[in-house]
Structure 1
Amino acid sequence: MIRLLVAALVLGTGCRAPEPDDSARDRAGTKARKAAPTGRPGRVEGVVRYEGDLPSPLPVNLTGPHAAVCDSAKGVYEMSVVRGPGGGLANAFISVEGVPQGEARGPQTRTIAIDDCVLKPYVIDGTVGDTLEIRNEDELVYLCTLGGGPEAAFKQGVLPDRSSTFQLDRPGGRRIDCTQDHPWLKGHVLVARHPYHAVTTASGRFTIEGVPPGRYTVQAWHPTQRQASAEVTVPPGGVGRVELVYRARAAAARPDGGRPDAPTKAAGPAVDDAH
């Protein structure tokens, strides 16, 4: 088991989502293709943990015409880190990078629900070519879009007990934005070029099936944390196990005397903006 200790502290909502730059991805892919042994695919199993004091709650702008009926959403969205039993970190996107071309998989539909004015799950993964379905389980009407700026998808109305769909046509992180009249209602979809990805469960665990044998880089990303990575080896038909740990840094340990939950720089490959 490989253990990576990362001093990772809370960032603002402009946190960036993982998509390695082309040169890094090409180098990783070339190295993996040269080193990968032949044999039956295996899987990657692991856990992401958060150690230390939890970050301060995030400010939640619970305003708008439906704020009164959505009061329960505040307690959900102010939690920047959801830590489960054993310190497991929920809602972390995991990607195995440098995997050679494996078995082709057809497009899938990834579903996220709006329930009690909350996006569930808050973080969802997908592959280029998949479809994102947003299903409304409330009695309210929502307007949702994907991404931001000039590349944002057209807003779609999501009626009660109905769904709207968006195409995941490019890799990287994109924000799920249903903030019109509900300014807190945001989520994240992380889109990979390949199918070797997952999102951690409430206990911080994940499993990625069908990984060709070889040595790869496992990357982790969380909406309020820096990116982390570790190496893993998948034997033919076997299991590669990995553990990644985000560790809070005490204020006294900061040379600049900043807050414990202030942003801090961490190493990692170049990434695309999550919009």
Structure 2
Amino acid sequence: MSVTDAQWARSEPLLPDRTPMRGGRWRDHRQVIDAIAFKCRTGTPWMDLPDHFGSWKGAHNRLRKWAADGTRERVFTALLAQADAEGDLEWVVAVDSTIVRAHTGTPPGPVKRGAPAGEPADHALGRSRGGPTTKIHLAVDSHCRPPAFVITPGEAGDAPAFEQVMARLRVPRRIGRPRITPDAVLADEAYSSRAIRRHLRRRGIRAVIPQPADQAANRKRLGRLGGRPPAFDREAYKQRNTVERCINKLKQWRGLATRYDKTATIYLAGLHLAAIFIWSAR
């Protein structure tokens, strides 16, 4: 996968200057981004990158640097802001998660010296019967484009990570404060908890979440004490498939469908890169 001319025209002004603080000029940004995208798209080991991408070490070091200093996330956020300013960001979002199997060469372990700042102690890796796994929690707009990601160990529940995902939904605007509140949130029964409904109600966000059968039965058993059933817009809920379609789109990148990166910071940078390709192609 290579950056198209249209994608490059939208992304290039957001990248840092090619002259680093020390030393000579960096290699061309576009060539390096193509190399990183090829690696993430195919799952190819760094040392096996084709020769026309240049030194694999240069591409790997650029990815690490941009992940550590937040460049990748800033570009991603700037593209969201552009879409919002042009009226092309839908504020009805669907939330869900997906499990990613980690490669056997990425076992959980302590954070080592030299790891990126902010690297979680568990590297967002959890143990399961099949080996180490990571879970991607994401929000997606109605055009199957992701404005927010959170990664956790694979055994983490969906509901506890919900507020983290909502906290990552932050789109700067030219005038005034960033927008952080969608109009509605679509989610499946795993998110039907009092805490989540209370969180959305407090922020003035419409919840489109079905109530599981056991919760409905318990409410009926309590009679008047059980309260009224939560409102549910069945027609709006039909759009929840956008998050499943986005997950399918992300997992076309083999380096994201299987986690080969030892640090959560680098894996998250790969997710941001895939999202940058999606948003810059709108």
TM-score normalised by the chain length of structure 1: 0.26
- Kindly indicate which of the two structures has a greater share of residues assigned to strand: 1
TM-score normalised by the chain length of structure 2: 0.25
Higher RCO (C-alpha 8 Å, min separation 6): 1
- Kindly indicate which of the two structures has a greater share of residues assigned to helix: 2
Structure having the higher Rg: 2
